[in-house]
Amino acid sequence: MEMALTILVSVISGLTLAGLTGVMKMLRGFIKEQRAANERNDEFRHSMQRAEIARTFRLVVEEGKPVTREELEHLEATYKAYSGDGQNGVGTLMYERIKENAIIVTRVDVKPDIKIGGTE
């Protein structure tokens, strides 16, 4: 009887260890996939922020379009997130030039085709 109990305990321990090992491998794989997905999301977000700054630069600095205070606030929030990622070389130069050249309008009769940052 003792021998059967010892064998049973050994079998159960082996199965438990094998199960735990499998779960650990599965978790490691999941964590690795999550990190890769997070990196892709960070790269995408950073790319969108850079594109927004570049688009606003083109409109404000190169084309001389006026902007509203809200649009500049949106740009500032975008730039803060962008520069918070440690990416601020060319983006910083563009942002500073936008602030220097921005013509701020407060009238409601601004042409509807002037949109920066998805605001209307």
In angstroms, the CA 7 to CA 1 distance is 10
Take residue 43 and report the two structure tokens written for it.
């790269």
Q: 118, 63, 110: which is closest to 98 by C-alpha? A: 63
Q: Kindly write down the DSSP assignment for every residue of 17-43, as one continuous string.
A: HHHHHHHHHHHHHHHHHHHHHHHHHHH
Q: Where does 1-120 show beta strands of DSSP type E? A: 67-68, 104-105
Please provide the average confidence, as pLDDT, over all residues in the chain: 82
pLDDT digits (tens, 9 = 90+) for 40-75: 999 999 889 999 999 999 999 999 999 989 999 999
Question: Torsion-angle region of residue 64: left (phi > 0), alpha (psi -120 to 50) or beta?
Answer: left
Take residue 4 and report the two structure tokens written for it.
């059967």
Task: For the chain, give every domain's residue range.
Answer: 38-109+114-118
pLDDT digits (tens, 9 = 90+) for 27-49: 888 889 999 999 999 999 988 99
Higher pLDDT, 44 or 14: 44
* Residues 67/31, Cβ–Cβ less than 8 Å: no
Question: Does the structure show a pLDDT above 80 at 88?
Answer: no
Q: What is the pLDDT of residue 120?
A: 47
Strands 67-68 and 104-105: parallel
